[in-house]
Amino acid sequence: MEDILDLDRYPLDREGSPEWDRLVQQSLAALSVDGMFNLEGFLRPGIAEQAVREIKPVMDTRSHVHKRLHNIYFKPSIPELAPDHPALRKVETISHTVCADQIPGSTVMAIYEYEPLVRFLAATMGKARLHVMQDPLARTNVMAYRAGEALNWHFDRSEFTITLLLQQAERGGDLEYRTDLRSDEDPNYEGVARLLEGRDPEARVLHMKPGTLNVFRGKNTAHRVTTVQGDRERMIAVFSYYEKPGVMFSEEERVGFYGRAA
Ligand SMILES: [Fe+2]
C-alpha cells in the first residue's frame, strides 16, 4: 500500500502515533467547520491514472447507465408540500456505474479494503469501528459522468459519503454544495426552493484534484456535481462502510441502483 497511498503525508499505517492523532484531529475539525475534509494527494503520483486504466474497459462496455428525473429528496412527494412547490422542482441525473464485482483485484478495491483506512475513517467519524460492506455490488461503486451529464441536487441518505476522485473532467464536474441548508428540525423548504432557482449566495463550489480522498457529511448539506463538459469523463470511486459487519443490499435495491440482482 506504501506504493499506492502517500503514507508519508497521511500516516494511516501508524495508528496511535502523534502524527496519526494530529491527522485525525485536523479531519475532525474540518468536518465540524466545513462538513467535509479532503486528503489531497492521498494517491501517489500516477496511481489515479493507473486505477482509471484498470476500470475504463469495464466502464466503456459493461457499466450501468442510470438516468432519471428526481427532486432534491429522491422522493415522489413530500406530504406537507403541494406537488408544484418550487422545492420539488425536478432535476436530471445521468451517471454510469461500475460495481465492485466487476473490478476484482483492482487498485480501487485494494484501497477500499485497506484496514488502516477503515480504522482511520472510523476515528474521523467518531465511530468505534467501521466494517467493509458485504454486498458484492454495492461495497464500492465507480461512477463516470460524461459530457452533458451530472449528479444533480440531492441530500444524502447516509451520514457520511466517502469518495476518491480518479479523473477530473476538462471543465465542470465540480462539487457544488450548500452547507446546512436544512436541519433535522427545520426542512427550510423556502431555502431549498431558493437554491434550486440558483439564488442562494451561500452555495460553494469545490474543485477537487484527482487522487483526493473526500469525506463529506451530506445529510443536510444540499449538493450536486455540476454538468461535465469536454471529452474526458469524470470518474470517482464511492466507498461504503457500515458500523455493523455483513451489510447487504436487498435484491430490490440492487436492481434499482444497478439494473441487476447479482
Ligand atoms: Fe451525495
Render pLDDT for 165-214 as a digit per residue (tens, 0 to 9).
Answer: 999 999 999 999 999 999 999 999 999 999 999 999 999 999 999 999 99
Measured in Å, residue 18 CA sits from the centre of ligand 1 at 32
Measured in Å, residue 15 CA sits from the centre of ligand 1 at 29
Distance of CA 205 to the CA centre of its chain: 15
The pLDDT value recorded for residue 253 is 93
The pLDDT value recorded for residue 106 is 98
Cell numbers 495508528: residue: 15
The pLDDT value recorded for residue 72 is 94
The pLDDT value recorded for residue 101 is 98
Measured in Å, residue 133 CA sits from the centre of ligand 1 at 18
> Which amino acid type is present at position 12?
L
Measured in Å, residue 223 CA sits from the centre of ligand 1 at 6
Mean pLDDT to the nearest integer, 220-233: 95
Cell of 197: 432557482
Measured in Å, residue 154 CA sits from the centre of ligand 1 at 6
Measured in Å, residue 17 CA sits from the centre of ligand 1 at 32
Closest to 158 in 3D by CA, of 235, 221, 252, 94: 221
Which comes out higher in pLDDT, residue 91 or 210?
210
Q: 67-90 b/e with 16+ CB inside 10 Å = b?
A: eeeebbbeeeebeebeeebebbee
Per-residue confidence band for 233, with pLDDT thresholds at 50, 70 and 90: very high
Closest to 1 in 3D by CA, of 54, 55, 44: 44
Cell of 87: 422545492
The pLDDT value recorded for residue 13 is 98
Measured in Å, residue 37 CA sits from the centre of ligand 1 at 15
- Provide the CB-side half-sphere exposure for 7 (13 A, CA): 14
Give percent above pLDDT 70 in the chain.
Answer: 100
Q: What protein residues have CB closer than 5 angstroms to ion ligand 1?
A: 156, 218
Measured in Å, residue 46 CA sits from the centre of ligand 1 at 27
Contact 13, 45 (CB under 8 A): no
